[in-house]
Structure 1
Amino acid sequence: MPLSIFKTKLVRILSNILNSTSKFEIETISAYPLQGYHAEKKPYIRVRIWNHYDQYNALKAVYTIGMCTASDDLICQYYYRKVACEERLPLSSWVTLSNYSYILSENSYLFQISVVHWKDDSNSLKQICLVDVETAPDPRWTTIICKNQVNLLKAFTLYWKLLALDIQIGFNNSQYDWRFIVEKAKKLGVLEWMYNQISLKPSSLEKILKWQYQYSAIKVNNRDFHSKHLKIPGYVAIDV
Structure 2
Amino acid sequence: MNILIAEDTPTIQVFNCTLLSSWGFNFDMASDGAEAIGYAYKNKGKYDLCLMDIEMPKMNGIEAARIIRRELPYFPIAAITADPSYRSECLAAGMDEFVQKPCTPNRLFATIRDLSIKPLLVKFGEEDISIVEAMPMNPKELQELRELKKQGLTKLKLLGLNHAFIVHRNIQNKISHDLIGEGKELSEFIDRSPSEPGRCQLYKANLHVTKDLLLPEELEEEMHRENEIAVRFNGATERYTPDD
With the shorter chain as reference, the TM-score category is under 0.3
Q: TM-score, normalised by structure 2?
A: 0.22
Q: Which of these two proteins has the greater Rg computed from alpha carbons?
A: 1
More helix by share: 2
Q: TM-score, normalised by structure 1?
A: 0.22
